């Protein structure tokens, strides 16, 4: 739903739904799925200089979930693939850390 400032005195800061709002943004479902599947990250859409949505961004909050602190991709699908690879890299690193060193 799209909201705008309005309704009453400007000082109130009240929000009202636009009557012709189209509903949720098409990317909302993709964002929700990514966030549910990769809960070790904060995931959002960057905003370009012109105000339009840009890259899909994931910032690492749980070091067990990945390696790179920030991952940016042009689409939800490419971000998903990159985060799957990040999880694999993190797993390989943990496995390597558990491997006994031979003397």
Q: Token pair of 14, please?
A: 């009240």
- What phi, psi does 86 have (nearest 5°)? -60, -45
2 close to 21: Cβ distance less than 8 angstroms: yes
- What phi, psi does 9 have (nearest 5°)? -65, 140
Residue 77: what pLDDT?
97
Give pLDDT tens digits for 17-68.
Answer: 444 445 578 899 999 999 999 999 999 999 999 999 999 999 999 988 999 9
Q: What pTM was estimated for this model as a whole?
A: 0.69
Q: Say how far apart CA 59 and CA 44 lie, in whole Å.
A: 9
Q: Token pair of 10, please?
A: 């400007």
Domain locations in the chain? 25-98
């Amino acid at each position: 739903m799209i909201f705008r400032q309005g309704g009453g005195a400007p000082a109130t800061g009240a929000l009202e739904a636009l009557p012709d709002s189209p509903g949720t943004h098409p990317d909302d479902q993709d964002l929700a799925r990514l966030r549910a599947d990769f809960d070790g990250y904060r995931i959002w859409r960057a905003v370009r200089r012109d105000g339009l949505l840009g890259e899909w961004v994931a910032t690492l909050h749980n070091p067990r979930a990945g390696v790179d602190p920030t991952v940016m991709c042009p689409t939800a699908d490419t971000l998903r693939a990159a985060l799957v690879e990040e999880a694999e890299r993190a797993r390989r690193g943990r496995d390597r850390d558990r491997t006994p060193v031979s003397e």
